Amino acid sequence: MNKHEGQLLKMARKGSVKAFEELTAPHQRIVYNYLLLNCANESEACQLAQDVFVRVFEMLTSDAVDSDLFACIYRTAVEVLRQQAGASKMIS
């Protein structure tokens, strides 16, 4: 993580949505594509991607994220997808 990203991370931890968006922007398309490949529905993938980043922001502002924010994003994407799959099985 470079100096600029470190500053963005500090600001995001204090609740700055703008800093969080700048910090996570490079990962948004990757997360969306991962979710789309696994759920095969654009609308659902979009909603799940939003859920991922909301959860990560909440974890970040509550200090539940260690220094590796990017690993946290991808772990959260896997968890959101796993939860969605479980919910889908319960409905059918």
Looking at every residue in the chain, the average pLDDT score rounds to 90
- Measured in Å, how far apart are the chain's first and last C-alpha atoms? 44
pLDDT tens digits, 48-78: 999 999 999 999 999 888 768 899 999 999 9
Q: What is the pLDDT at residue 36?
A: 95
User: Helices 3-13 and 17-39: crossing angle, nearest 10°?
Assistant: 90
Q: What is the CA radius of gyration of the chain?
A: 14
Any idea where the domains of the chain sit in the sequence?
Answer: 25-91
Q: 76 and 70 in contact (C-beta within 8 Å)?
A: no
pTM: 0.88
pLDDT at 92 over 50: no
